[in-house]
Amino acid sequence: MKKDFAIALVLVLAGVILFTVWLGYGLNGNRRASPNLSLLNVGEMAPPLKAEGWVNGNPHQDNYLEGKVIVVDAWATWCGPCRMAAPHMVEVYEKFKDQKVAFIGLTSDSEELLPEIKEWLSDTGITWPNGYGAIDSLTAFKAEFIPQVWVVGTDGKIVWNEDSRSAESLEEGIRRALKKSD
């Protein structure tokens, strides 16, 4: 009887995990398959970075954003693909952290999930400022799926977005934005 319960529990947990991964990939895959979704395009002005609160520092203090290329990463604690993309984001951060590049994370997760947000950031090694309850900014960025990343030039315009990925990598987009700012 206990063995049957344990097997059922494992199957349910596996199903939940698979559903979460499928949902994340499904949203991402649907976006790529449908060019009609409106994304914040390259050349458009980036919206203000607003959030209910901030973890790992407030980017609006101490001139953190001034004169910098900004990499904006949209994610959520429940998003399996976001967790899988995090090591690459940390790797990119390590490459550019000593240059004129600021990284900002945004999640729609609310303040009630603050313990989970902090745990997620700790588990993934993300140390840059992250705004929670950032629904207004994510809506303005037209984040119709996650994970999603934008590179914003020093002029406030989008230089690179997920659609740019087929032409150049995130790293190449950041390098191009840095060259434009010189």
Nearest alpha carbon to residue 158 among 70, 88, 77: 70
State the pLDDT at residue 4. 65
* Cα separation, 42 vs 165, whole angstroms: 12
Residue matched to tokens 């999603």 = 148
Pull the structure tokens for residue 45.
Answer: 């002005």
With beta carbons less than 8 A apart as the criterion, state whether 158 and 44 touch: yes
State the pLDDT at residue 166. 80
State the pLDDT at residue 31. 38
With beta carbons less than 8 A apart as the criterion, state whether 102 and 173 touch: no
- Vertex 143, ends 138 and 147: CA angle to 5°? 105
Residue matched to tokens 């994610």 = 75
**End-to-end C-alpha distance for the chain, whole angstroms:** 69
Q: Is the Cα torsion angle 135, 73, 86, 115 positive or negative in sign?
A: negative
Identity at 181, one-letter amino acid code: S
* Cα separation, 88 vs 110, whole angstroms: 25
* pTM, 2 dp: 0.79
Nearest alpha carbon to residue 31 among 162, 157, 125: 162
User: In the chain, which stretches have pLDDT less than 50?
Assistant: 9-10, 12, 14-16, 18-37
State the pLDDT at residue 39. 72
State the pLDDT at residue 181. 80
